[in-house]
Copies of this chain bind each other. A is one copy, B any other.
Amino acid sequence: MEFHYPNGRKYKGNPTPNKNKSKKEISYSNRGMTLEDDLNTTNAYYLANNIAVIHKKPTPIQIVHVDYQSRSTAVIKEAYFRQASTTDYNGVWDGRYIDFEAKETKNTTSFPLNNFHDHQIKHMKSVVEHKGIAFVILRFVKTDELFLLKAEDLFFYWERMINGGRKSITKDEIIKSGYSLKYSLHPRIDYLEIVRHVYSL
């Protein structure tokens, strides 16, 4: 029987040292961290090593009631999650505006497009129009595979859906139009290295 973390990752037990394993095969994946954790760690690495300034935006909340119990502490007693009007991550890298969204799926053969909202697609379109760099990072939870897909390619699949086509991107399509991202130790997910390649920077 397999154990799974709540985020869907397999529990693999303590890593067993394997002397026959070559250095190239070492896997840094499957450490029970979510994609968000991994990206936050990566962004912290980028910041600490003076590579880029990229942050995750806070979750948008609609605050309804705040209790000012004491002079210093305000306790939010009633609030609701709001839908984000932009993507989750943005920042600056060598003067360039970087903007992306990160999503996971438990599907194995395709990535459902309902992971994105209409206004997020709109937002990414605006970013691209204003010469920013926009993309999505997609993770297949069960196989722990990561891909970077340019926003321009995502728009293509989105339009296909709008025009009555399939409501997901097949994994084959992602492999063909996207770029594989590998886990490493520092940084966890070096997506900017792929961005540099993809956009010929």
The answer to the question of A193 belonging to the interface, with a C-beta cut-off of 8 Å to chain B, is: no
Chain B residues whose C-beta falls within 8 Å of the C-beta of A53 in the assembled complex: 123, 126-127, 130, 132
| Inter-chain contact B80/A73, CB cutoff 8 Å | yes
| Inter-chain contact B86/A97, CB cutoff 8 Å | no
| Inter-chain contact B78/A77, CB cutoff 8 Å | yes
Residue among B78, B86, B95 making CB contact with A132, cutoff 8 Å: B95
Interface size class on chain A is: 35 or more
Proximity bits, A63-81, B CB within 8 Å = 1, else 0: 1000000000111111111
- Of A15-23, A27-35, A54-62, A166-174, the one touching chain B: A54-62
The answer to the question of A186 belonging to the interface, with a C-beta cut-off of 8 Å to chain B, is: no
A120 to chain B, nearest CB (A): 12
| Inter-chain contact A74/B78, CB cutoff 8 Å | no
| Inter-chain contact B93/A90, CB cutoff 8 Å | no
A residues 129-158 near B (Cβ < 8 Å) are: 129-132
Proximity bits, A85-101, B CB within 8 Å = 1, else 0: 11000111111110100
The answer to the question of A52 belonging to the interface, with a C-beta cut-off of 8 Å to chain B, is: yes
Q: Assuming A53-B130, A58-B59, what are 11 further A-B pairs, CB within 8 angstroms?
A: A47-B126, A53-B123, A55-B86, A74-B80, A76-B76, A77-B77, A90-B90, A92-B99, A94-B131, A95-B97, A95-B132
A-side residues, CB < 8 A to B, are: 47, 50, 52-53, 55, 57-61, 63, 73-82, 85-86, 90-97, 99, 123, 126-127, 129-132
